Amino acid sequence: DIIRTIRDPEKPNTLEELEVVTESCVEVHEIGEDEYLVIIRFTPTVPHCSLATLIGLCLRIKLQRCLPFRHKLEIYISEGTHSTEEDINKQINDKERVAAAMENPNLREIVEQCVAEPD
């Protein structure tokens, strides 16, 4: 429910409407007392999607802000659905790179627009 309303950076649709994220792409595993591993596998609309990294960043930011429990978060592109999935997976799961991206005012503004709750 948390990620279903994230907007696509290019289109007026949500990631759920575009089937970039679905309920079946979310896994939650208990890894300790009151601590969970959350794994998201998303599917870009095209294999060369230039905004796949930005979509991964939006997923990470929204979940970090909204999950009401302690968690470890792993976000991946669904296997075989993007031409540079390995590089993007490394990027969106690297804390330093995520922090650096969010320091960029232009990127931060796009992320904020994508993760804002609909009225």
Report the CATH number at residue 55: 3.30.300.130
Q: Following DSSP, what letter does each residue of 6-59 receive, concatenated?
A: PBPSSSSSBTTTTTSS-GGGEEEEEEETTEEEEEEEE--SSTT-TTHHHHHHHH
Q: Domain residues for 28?
A: 23-111
pLDDT band, very low/low/confident/very high, at 117 (cuts 50, 70, 90): confident
Spatial distance between the Cα atoms of 67 and 2, rounded to a whole number of angstroms: 8
pLDDT in tens, 67-111: 988 999 999 999 999 999 999 999 999 999 999 999 999 999 999
Spatial distance between the Cα atoms of 86 and 72, rounded to a whole number of angstroms: 20
Residue with token string 């792993």: 74
103 lies in some domain: yes
pTM given for the model: 0.93
